[in-house]
Amino acid sequence: MKTSLYLLGFILAFSTPVTAQDNFQRERQQMVNQQLVARGIKDKATLDAMRTVERHKLVPQAQVRHAYEDRPLPIGHGQTISQPYIVAYMTEIINPRPGMKVLEIGTGSGYQAAVLAEIVDEVYTIEIVNALAESAKNSLREMGYTNIHVKAADGYYGWEEHAPFDAIVVTAASEFIPPPLIAQLKEGGKMIIPVGAPFTNQNLMLVEKEKDGKWKTQNLFPVRFVPFTRN
């Protein structure tokens, strides 16, 4: 009996404890395997970014235990953080690569911006709710992101002084595609945006700007986003 207790103590003393961080890392890996790869997300850069970004640091404390579940979560001010699958899908479809400059409309807590920032050179993100813009800016800075630029403003007008953008990601539902965003999209660029009436199902739409400045759209599938709000 003494020998068994001694061996048990020795094993415990020299084993590595399972930390909360280890648990989150394991949950992220499960999220990628079960929620993303299993549902058809293939882009390696997107999958690597989703494995890396610590979503639990971008949700309210009360929601941390749900951080890697495949559903949106409330972040206050009537806003949500999008479900991981939608974030991955919207990232993959714009074909993000190093060297790109991307505009995001609807920063929220900063999750989509962080995922993009793992891949592209610069992310410019706009949030209309001042408190969320400030909170996201602080969280992203603490997480070490130096290539994300956050502005509290009306996203309808985009961020003209940094245009044109290689891609635009809109994370709030608009009843129509804002013309200033089309104007700020680079020729050959892509925009992903939910379009439709608020508080109902909308269509997730891919917009592609052609070389002659014309643009075409493609309806992807029904979604339900918080509404695109204006000042």
- Residue 82 falls in the annotated catalytic set: yes
Report CA torsion sign: 147, 152, 158, 161: negative
Beta strands in the chain (DSSP E): 73-76, 79-81, 101-105, 122-127, 148-152, 165-170, 185-195, 202-209, 215-223
Which amino acid makes up residue 207?
V
Distance CA 47, CA 60 (A): 24
Of the listed 4, 15, 82, 135, which one is catalytic? 82
Cβ atoms within 10 Å, residue 47: 18
Contact indicator for 92, 39 with CB cutoff of 8 Å: no
**Active site residues per annotation:** 82
